[in-house]
Chain A
């Protein structure tokens, strides 16, 4: 069971040793256990920057991202390939260097007829690779001065970006803020200034490379959380440590016996449905711009399996199991609740990124009458019995039925009116709803409107109909496009119009951002017509974009993230602006309108060299059929 004791260190405990690449190896070695390791999706690309055969004219590389993204780990991978071992890595020095030979002609590696590298030194040039694996540990602390040696080194780095003949290149790992901060604290020489601008541009614009600049920039936070999750959960579930836990005969209340909550959770996590719902959540996080780093994914997985509210640090060890079983508390190790950090006290949970992010979906707090009826009255109502049996009764481990029924009776009949008993009941309800989120099978998803268990009612459709479609470059269903256009039009005009065949650009006359805009500027056709069209397509990464083409060379994209998608869909479907959304979305869409109007002005100016005096005014009118417009012509 030492695996579980080791695994615990990945969890949300206060001394989370497995947080840092530097410490994880030490503790793994000490316990003779293989840590959870997988190849980062960027590993190939990063190693190719330095290693044979791709790297013939190497440039400096920066790895940036959030804490826990695996920057140090990637540095180590590169180091291992260059140095052929990682002995030096154990040291605490945040800075290491190694000299490496690269082809002198900077094009091809000199290879003899056997395919081996030729030995003639004259064919190579020596390049010193400086690895700063932890920028914050290396750069002087705030308020302190630069040591001359370090200052010289960082200037060398600046130079390496612009000088093709530089024989020093760098591999630097640091968080975004550290990176900016380090260069801000340097002098203001032209070289440093130029470097600072480059870094800022790369960081904010999400660039990876730029012509004329000898730098590759990998922002590990741009890696899809879903992709990382899939890699992590595979390694997590298939770790040989689990097999060892199964070995041997177990008495009834022992850890990893058939009744053990750890084992139950481990097995539940392997079921396809639970995994796919988790994947959906990660996918959606990517589409609301929330990046979950590797370290946080491991916290989630560990907590899902080992979480329990009544043990030390809220994370179980094998020793806890007999007691929990004896006291009948195994059902509180509820995996579905643990996934959202439900086993942790609020203050503890709030400090953990992954739980904070998943909390935004409000699973357990959002619901529909139908789903709550199944949970509350399913056992008494013949119409709901089928659902009840399949979704609740079958899960005898976590349905907490007796407890639930008693709490329900107390709650409804008001036997015990204390706040705490009401709280208990509501907490039970939350756990059951969370359970349903992972138990409703795919075929019932639509019928039960499962996504109403989250704040994003359109999330299911967003993934299946939009994200999946654009990833395959196939067209998105026209009914969806029409709905989004209708939503846009309602916001653009401030009127409850139903038009969805064209995007309506309107202003109030004096202000384009006015709440009500009745002066029609243009209708941009959704279907392809005279150079105009509106489509949903993938952008250069993985996000769907709503692309409004005003003419073949004037195109305005709107990043169609989940929040905007939900917002526009609700505006189109429900009419009024949803109150639960902040102004953020509204402002956002109005800013898009500004861009469209600007683009339209450009198009009109291009079309007509001598901009004629305009003589027509089109006023939007609301009618039963939607909207029409009155054209008023004046005769100057």
Chain B
């Protein structure tokens, strides 16, 4: 492969896969159905396990991560597979009867072996209190309101005891539907960042609060006997690069957020937004490197009441960025022709078999030779490989840019029928909290967004990245003025006289940052 990226080979290419292409380029694996929140949860599962083993953020050899996430089936059955509580509460005025009926019902729980929920009773003074706690935990659960199977519903990550892995309907195994390893990748990325040590300390200190009442509550919903025995080992996560600018940027941004004086769990949504943002950045940057394109940039429209030039450009950049990862796959496969091994195989007496063998060995494709019905010609075989790979790519990995972009509030279709970059208030807040210490002059802030994330909001930045024919100073100026107004209305901008404005971070705490 001659795209000048130093890629690692996995210790063992996962035999379950239909091919090894997206995985080779970006890792095993980026998955669009796993939203940034779920990426974060999967990450925490890894983080906490590795921490309990005393080796957090230490990789003994590249891509050798093995961990055993918890299942916490009692907790999950109570929260998400227990629709009777309200009815029981109504039916019986007596507390004893309420408990009795509930315990009877729960004893029939199929996913547990000899279920016994009687421990719950010890922790609450009444069934009604128990019911209130459960309904509260349900309202704060993640993606509340989605109609996912109950085994893919997650309690808010209040502390370590709220973490568990995604499971299939029978609760027998992680079928990788919503925990598709992107969280494991996130762990490896941070593991390979320059700031992993500081980060490990901060994550433990700020996000997993074992003093909170929530920790106590959630613990009380689980039996004291060791459920931990029922854990299975997870392995085969893979990130192909030993270092990457995205890893360090993400770690820096996380550190900035974790150093703010935000109350309780308020930092989490920002961390999650940054996960989404940096995964997009990672995907597109690597894609651009493979496809030998310029570093992608994002023209962001601060939503205007009507169509503007910035909106048009924003739609265009979205569209071209959206195609970038597929182009990378295309070029990656085209590069196979230039492999020495391939060229030798083509000159072989049975070129078709020799080339097929390369594809099978290196790219895990065509495990069953009968899956290919075309002519026995290396060129045609490669074409078939390309189109299968592209189809597969478009099914999941190719959607990450759009899906994650929407999830974190960077991408929107508001007021148009095309996608574009139009950041929401929450996303803007994330950027400010991650980048501004106490305050920063607005135009430095805009410069920084371009430099770190390739985001274009103001006229100076637009002028830098755009061709002269596309650039219109006035519309970009209007865009940054809209940004100013938005930030004023969020209480994050202070304007002085004549065009001088400062972006403020009200949660920056000097003392914490001097520690």
Contacts and interface: CB of A to CB of B under 8 A. Distances in A.
Interface string A162-180: 0000000000000111101
A482 B488 CA distance: 29
A45 B168 CA distance: 76
B263 A175 contact: no
Interface in A567-613: 582-584, 587-588, 591, 594-595, 597-598, 601, 611-613
Given A221-B497, A584-B489, A636 B216 contact: yes
B114 interface: no
A193 B210 CA distance: 44
Nearest to B122: A635
Interface stretch (A259-267, A445-453, A465-473, A512-520): A512-520
A444 interface: no
B374 to A, nearest CB: 54
A221 B498 CA distance: 12
Contact of B489 (A221, A510, A519, A587): A587
Contact of A512 (B125, B132, B211, B263): B263
A509 interface: yes
Contact of A632 (B132, B215, B264): B132
Given A597-B263, A613-B211, A204 B498 contact: no
Interface string A118-150: 000000000000000000000000000000000
Residue among B122, B125, B490, B500 facing the most chain A CB atoms (10 A cut-off): B500
Contact of A587 (B129, B132, B219, B490): B490
A412 interface: no
Interface in B120-159: 122-125, 129, 132-133, 136-137, 139-140, 156, 158
Contacts of A601: 263-264
A634 B124 contact: yes
A327 B103 CA distance: 94
A509 B496 contact: no
A633 interface: yes
Centre residue among A204, A509, A595 by max chain B CB count within 10 A = A509
B214 interface: yes
B502 A204 contact: yes
B216 A614 contact: yes
B496 A594 contact: no
B214 A177 contact: no
Given A204-B439, A509-B136, A617-B133, A598 B261 contact: yes
Contact of A636 (B220, B262, B441, B498): B220
B217 A510 contact: no
B496 A615 contact: no
A520 B441 CA distance: 38
Given A582-B489, A584-B491, A511 B265 contact: yes
A584 B277 CA distance: 26
Interface in A499-526: 507-513, 518-519
A487 interface: no
Contacts of A221: 497
Interface in A184-224: 200, 203-204, 221
B265 A510 contact: yes
A54 B489 CA distance: 44
B351 interface: no
Nearest to B210: A613
A597 B264 contact: yes
Contacts of A617: 133, 136, 213, 217
B117 interface: no
A594 B266 contact: yes
B506 interface: yes
A509 B500 contact: no
Greatest chain A CB density within 10 A among B129, B210, B214, B497 is at B497
Contacts of A615: 213, 216
Nearest to A176: B496
B78 to A, nearest CB: 14
A359 to B, nearest CB: 17
B184 to A, nearest CB: 24
B494 interface: yes
Contacts of B263: 507, 512, 594, 597-598, 601
B417 to A, nearest CB: 27
Contacts of B220: 634-636
Contacts of B122: 635
Contacts of A200: 439
A142 B122 CA distance: 74
A599 to B, nearest CB: 9
Interface in B78-95: none
A421 interface: no
A634 B496 contact: no
Contacts of A591: 491, 506
B136 A518 contact: yes
Contacts of B439: 200, 204
B496 A507 contact: no
Contacts of B124: 632, 634-635
A410 interface: no
A233 interface: no
Interface in A460-510: 507-510
A203 B496 contact: yes
A228 to B, nearest CB: 16
Contacts of B494: 204
A614 B211 contact: yes
Contacts of B265: 510-511
A406 interface: no
A624 interface: no
A490 to B, nearest CB: 19
Contact of A619 (B125, B136, B268): B136
B125 A509 contact: no
Best-surrounded residue of A66, A598, A630, A634 (most CB of chain B within 10 A): A634
A596 B5 CA distance: 50
Contacts of A634: 123-124, 133, 213, 216-217, 220
Contacts of B140: 508-511
Contacts of A518: 136
Contacts of B488: 584
A595 B125 CA distance: 34
Nearest to A601: B263
B81 to A, nearest CB: 21
B212 A176 contact: no
B132 A630 contact: yes
A245 interface: no
A513 B506 CA distance: 14
A177 B500 contact: yes
A180 B442 CA distance: 12
A4 interface: no
Contacts of A513: 266
Interface string B256-281: 00000111111011000000000000
A65 interface: yes
B507 interface: yes
A177 B498 contact: yes
Contacts of A547: none
A376 to B, nearest CB: 35
A616 interface: yes
28 contacts: A65-B497, A67-B498, A176-B496, A177-B497, A177-B498, A181-B500, A204-B439, A204-B494, A204-B496, A507-B264, A508-B140, A509-B137, A510-B264, A510-B268, A511-B269, A584-B489, A584-B490, A597-B264, A613-B210, A613-B211, A614-B211, A614-B213, A614-B216, A632-B129, A632-B132, A632-B133, A634-B124, A635-B123
By Cβ-Cβ distance, the 9 closest A-B pairs, closest first, are: A177-B498, A177-B500, A597-B263, A176-B496, A614-B213, A66-B497, A584-B489, A510-B156, A510-B140
Interface of B: 122-125, 129, 132-133, 136-137, 139-140, 156, 158, 210-217, 219-220, 261-266, 268-269, 439, 441, 488-491, 494, 496-500, 502, 506-507
Given A509-B156, A512-B263, A633-B125, 12 more contacts: A67-B498, A180-B500, A510-B156, A510-B158, A511-B266, A584-B488, A587-B489, A594-B262, A597-B263, A616-B213, A617-B136, A635-B125
